[in-house]
Structure 1
Amino acid sequence: MGGGYIATFTAGAGFLTAPVKWFRSLSTQRSASVVSVNAEHKVNPWPKSTTTTTTTTTTTTMPTVGAAMTQEDRHINGKAVVAGAVEEDQEVKRNWRDYFELAKSIIRSDGGHGSGPPRWFSPLETASRMRNSPLLLYLPGLDGLGCGLVSQQQKLGKIFDVWCLHIPVKDRTPFQELVLLVEETVRSENYRSPERPIYLVGDSVGGCLALAVAARNPDIDLVLILANPATSYSKSHLQSLLPLLEVIPSDLSLISIPYTLSLMTGEPFNLFSSSMKKGLGQQVTFEQLSEGLSELSAYFSVLADILPRDTLLWKLQMMKSASSFANSRLHAVKAQILILASGKDPLLPSLEEAERIRGALPKQEVRVLKGTGKMPKCEIRKFPDSGHLLFLADGVDLVTIIKATSLYRRGKLHDYVSDYMLPTDAEFNKTSDSFRWLNIATGPVMLSTLENGKIVQGLEGIPSEGPVIFVGYHMLLGLEIYPLVIKFMSERNILLRGLAHPMLFAKLEEDEMDLSMFDSYRIMGAVPVTASNFYKLLSSGSHILLYPGGMREALHKKGEEYQLFWPESSEFVRMAARFGAKIIPFGVVGEDDICEILLDSDDQMKIPYLRQSIERRTSQIQLRTDLKGEVSNQVAYFPGLLPKLPGRFYYLFGKPIDTTGMKQELRDREKAHEVYLQVKSEVQSSISYLKEKREKDPYRSLAARTLYQATHGSEADVPTFDL
């Protein structure tokens, strides 16, 4: 038979068209190729009560947001995305209820008794995606049905070609044969598109399957996303369920097994209680609660159909085998890995297991850094309040996680410009809300300069069209970035692409710093500061945030506030002229009113333990080694700080310096240096202007601003000094 075939699902008394296009079966003769998804062959996966009808029959493409993006390209489905966030398409919100409804449909589709071999299917709603989207293979958990991405697949389908592995209830394919099945698909698709990575999303025991395939195929470009991987089965409470399954009478298994499993896993109780908590603010009535509990109990029969006693016994035995198989081969895994670990997983010790896996993986060079240290190419994201069924948990968005970890790529290496996806409204709002406290505490005042040199309040003087380079002073810890980026997005719909330190993008060896604290930077478009990234941003017409002083300014020492630590010369002026970019010098003051530095780098280098930590970290992130003086002193440390009552932030954006038509003129290094010194001088002048003017601001203190908003409304703009 080879190739593939189409299966339909039946439901109830009539025929409910199935959710899927099936690919090859394990029982068929293995072939060197796999039939690709054709949208015209896909049918609706959802019962009519839980779906929105779609008439899409052909695959559409979305424009690449990157170096080759033209003015016409900067519209997605008719929505303008020239500089800011992408408005989210109408999405059908799905949850654990939809999972159970789909599970019932899938089980019925297997002839009503869960028969048939393992096979692939692609959900209908994943038909429309971006150009050159990589393949994503979903490897299910204990249930085996392949519908665990039900609440994620609509967004995933916009950027991936999604295939889900379905293992029917009564199938008894050994783990090693499942490895061969997935491996064959991986090799076949890699042969078809060798330039693109293949993503393996492994859920629980599916995580073991993903690791096993990666270990056996180290030369294939794989990206693994493991959600609560079952490699810690030997430490799992599930082991205690095996003796019970062996002795429980068959006539009681229909009732006892689903309840026992639910009590052990906490699912779907955890999912249900999460839904109820969301509704508490809306005065959930007793009737609503009763209906919800009744609905929940009805799904136990579905759980019994998904995992009857014999199937559950087989699955647990297979999980034991899978765990042993994967653990014995961790040393051979070379794939890029992201581990998602739940803090309230009653099945597995997922948080501890994530760290163990990372420590057991072979250490490799991380290309984004210039140091010589090696480290696992593995990141961890923790979800303290989530249970075992992570992808069904409220608030877990896999696409956002992939974007935040810079994991999405369509080639051999992640391109921070062409692979970047603009933040959605929801992502921007979440980022903005997380830094709302900083905005309230600092009451930022932003001034810009018009073409005629007049200084005005607000961002009227900022050009809408790029490329534009904002060149400024980096204040203590770089906290001025958050209000700046949020203000530009919310008021002008302009996304500032920051050129950031590589330390924000790769975990250093034996470093306790949690990279998740920088996820918002990556979602909002920060890129590692390299000449190639700068070039690509300019060519794509971006608004770029550049700090020549870098980490030396952001982590300055005592008494160094408002001092510029810039190189003697910079190539950014010549690069700007090449693209006719506008350069906007800007100054910021106020942040050093927040904190007093107690321990700077000089102080910490006198303490042996801190000195060793600083030297180890700094050695792995060598930057500007070709420069001399203070600007080359990029010491990676965190200052000891004493918080103060926050002062107000003041920003002044100078008059744009237009380099259009100056490409030939600024090839001369001396003339380019003159422009560079002009930019530096204007930054210093802006800082001096703001330091003088802030003394005349009646609302400089937090108390004065709080009182003003108490009388005028919390959303009222607080006035400042006269211009």
Structure 2
Amino acid sequence: MTSARHTTEIMNHPARVEALRGPVNVLTRAIEPLIDLYRPYVDGLENLPRDGRFLLVGNHTQSSVEGPLIPHYVRREIGTRVRPLTERMMANFPRPVGDLLAAYGAVVGSREGTREMMRHNETILVFPGGGREISKFKGEEYTLQWQGRSGFALLCVENDYPIVPVALVGGDDVYSNLLSRGNPLANLTMSLSEKIFGRGDMTPAILHGIGPTLIPRPQRMYLRFAEPIDTTKPAAVSTEKWIATVKDRTQRSLEAAISELLQLRRDDPYRELNPLAWRNALEPGSPAPTSA
């Protein structure tokens, strides 16, 4: 459970963390030209509520590039800092690492902490699948691994907080897992994960990039911010049913956005960052190239 002290520090960082916010902001702005260089496909920015009071719900990929990419575009579009919710293990990180993440805006995911940020109308980012969505097995690319998690929906209903689903495609193709679920070696890694980390759902993946190496495959990233989901409960609907409805609507919206981005990427000649196809890169609002 989150301590009262930790909940207070979410909005009032210790002096050592505040001292790092300036350098972290400089660093994040310094990498903007590098992000632009790879020309990510980004659409739906007009769906972001201008007041910054909303919860972003995204899908995790094996590359985890969505972690910095989503806050980057939200900050650029509406000027607000995004507060990503992280796994509880962040609380055990060595102070320099933990302080840097806190200065960036990251917060250990908890209901108490999220409620505190919602009281202050923060822009929050959550990946309901958590770590299990990062370490996917072969054939599970771009699938949501929520395992019934609906805490984000409960908190949004409690606080009338809008939800903006945000999908990323590209991150699960930088690396591939050699193992399929049910493979004996996969079962062994799950058993080891359970013994070492206390959870078998965050399985260390056996990855490869280009060929058998760990050199990442060049992949263009495709990001879509879907239409906001109103979480205000109708008077005639029970709270439990409405929470389930909000969770289901969010999941269906996110899955639809992922599917649409996969289709867009299929016809994009720049999908593997081929410099020769730079001028023909698919852009929002332009017709998709005709397949040969």
Q: TM-score, normalised by structure 2?
A: 0.79
- The match for 1:68 is none
Shift of 1:700: 2.3
- The match for 1:471 is 57
Q: Partners of 2:19 and 2:43 in 1: how far apart?
A: 26
Shift of 1:431: 3.5
Q: Partners of 1:599 and 1:708 in 2: how far apart?
A: 37
Q: Partners of 1:560 and 1:518 in 2: how far apart?
A: 30
Q: Deviations over 1:262-301 (max 9, x none)?
A: xxxxxxxxxxxxxxxxxxxxxxxxxxxxxxxxxxxxxxxx
Shift of 1:599: 5.6
Shift of 1:550: 1.1
Work out which of the residue numbers 644, 655, 658 in structure 1 matches 2:230: 658
- The match for 2:188 is 606
The 5 A counterparts of 1:520-539 are: 520-539=100-119
The 5 A counterparts of 1:536-615 are: 536-568=116-148, 570-598=150-178, 603=185, 606=188, 612=192, 614-615=193-194
Q: Partners of 1:705 and 1:502 in 2: how far apart?
A: 44
- The match for 1:415 is 8
**CA spacing shift, 1:480–1:569, aligned 2, 3 Å:** closer
Shift of 1:635: 2.3
Q: Deviations over 1:175-215 (max 9, x none)?
A: xxxxxxxxxxxxxxxxxxxxxxxxxxxxxxxxxxxxxxxxx
Q: Which residue identity lines up with residue 646 of structure 1 in the other structure?
A: P
2:196 matched to 1:617? yes
**CA spacing shift, 1:413–1:531, aligned 2, 3 Å:** closer
Structure 1: state its 5+ residue gaps.
1-366, 370-410, 449-458, 508-513, 623-632, 710-717
Shift of 1:520: 4.6
The 5 A counterparts of 1:112-511 are: 412-413=5-6, 415-420=8-13, 421=18, 424-433=21-30, 439=35, 442-448=38-44, 459-507=45-93
Q: Partners of 1:516 and 1:479 in 2: how far apart?
A: 22
Q: Deviations over 1:235-273 (max 9, x none)?
A: xxxxxxxxxxxxxxxxxxxxxxxxxxxxxxxxxxxxxxx
Q: Partners of 2:43 and 2:148 in 1: how far apart?
A: 28
**CA spacing shift, 1:635–1:707, aligned 2, 3 Å:** closer
Shift of 1:674: 1.9
Q: Deviations over 1:281-337 (max 9, x none)?
A: xxxxxxxxxxxxxxxxxxxxxxxxxxxxxxxxxxxxxxxxxxxxxxxxxxxxxxxxx
Q: Partners of 2:96 and 2:33 in 1: how far apart?
A: 18
Q: Partners of 2:177 and 2:37 in 1: how far apart?
A: 19
Work out which of the residue numbers 226, 237, 245 in structure 2 matches 1:674: 245
Q: TM-score, normalised by structure 1?
A: 0.34
SS in 1 for 2:178: strand
**CA spacing shift, 1:681–1:564, aligned 2, 3 Å:** same
Alpha-carbon contact 1:596-1:644 (below 8 Å) kept: no
Q: Which residue identity lines up with residue 672 of structure 1 in the other structure?
A: I
Q: Partners of 1:582 and 1:553 in 2: how far apart?
A: 23
Q: Which residue identity lines up with residue 471 of structure 1 in the other structure?
A: V
Q: Partners of 1:560 and 1:687 in 2: how far apart?
A: 13
- The match for 2:221 is 649
Q: Which residue identity lines up with residue 654 of structure 1 in the other structure?
A: A
Bigger mean CA deviation after superposition, 417-426 or 574-583: 417-426
Bigger mean CA deviation after superposition, 677-686 or 563-572: 563-572
Q: Which residue identity lines up with residue 57 of structure 2 in the other structure?
A: V
Work out which of the residue numbers 280, 283, 289 in structure 2 matches 1:720: 283
Q: Which residue identity lines up with residue 567 of structure 1 in the other structure?
A: Q
- The match for 2:212 is none
Q: Partners of 1:640 and 1:501 in 2: how far apart?
A: 22
Structure 2: state its 5+ residue gaps.
210-214, 288-292
SS in 2 for 1:505: helix
Q: Partners of 2:51 and 2:276 in 1: how far apart?
A: 34
- The match for 1:634 is 201
Alpha-carbon contact 1:467-1:582 (below 8 Å) kept: yes
Shift of 1:673: 1.2
Alpha-carbon contact 1:618-1:636 (below 8 Å) kept: no
Q: Partners of 1:545 and 1:442 in 2: how far apart?
A: 23
Alpha-carbon contact 2:64-2:171 (below 8 Å) kept: no
Alpha-carbon contact 2:169-2:221 (below 8 Å) kept: yes
Alpha-carbon contact 1:469-1:546 (below 8 Å) kept: yes
Q: Which residue identity lines up with residue 617 of structure 1 in the other structure?
A: I
Alpha-carbon contact 2:56-2:165 (below 8 Å) kept: yes
- The match for 1:221 is none
Alpha-carbon contact 1:549-1:564 (below 8 Å) kept: yes
**CA spacing shift, 1:653–1:516, aligned 2, 3 Å:** same
**CA spacing shift, 1:428–1:663, aligned 2, 3 Å:** farther
Shift of 1:502: 1.4
Alignment RMSD (CA, Å): 3.4
Q: Deviations over 1:20-51 (max 9, x none)?
A: xxxxxxxxxxxxxxxxxxxxxxxxxxxxxxxx
Alpha-carbon contact 2:168-2:224 (below 8 Å) kept: yes
Shift of 1:553: 0.8
SS in 1 for 2:71: helix
Alpha-carbon contact 1:422-1:525 (below 8 Å) kept: no
SS in 2 for 1:478: coil
Bigger mean CA deviation after superposition, 490-499 or 673-682: 490-499
Q: Deviations over 1:580-632 (max 9, x none)?
A: 2111122211112211223678636537xx965x344312xx6xxxxxxxxxx
- The match for 1:694 is 265
Alpha-carbon contact 2:137-2:177 (below 8 Å) kept: yes
Alpha-carbon contact 1:577-1:666 (below 8 Å) kept: no
Length, aligned pairs only: 275
Counting aligned pairs with the same residue, the percent is 23
Structure with the greater alpha carbon radius of gyration:
1
Q: Which residue identity lines up with residue 241 of structure 2 in the other structure?
A: E
Shift of 1:422: 9.7
**CA spacing shift, 1:423–1:518, aligned 2, 3 Å:** closer
Q: Which residue identity lines up with residue 75 of structure 2 in the other structure?
A: M
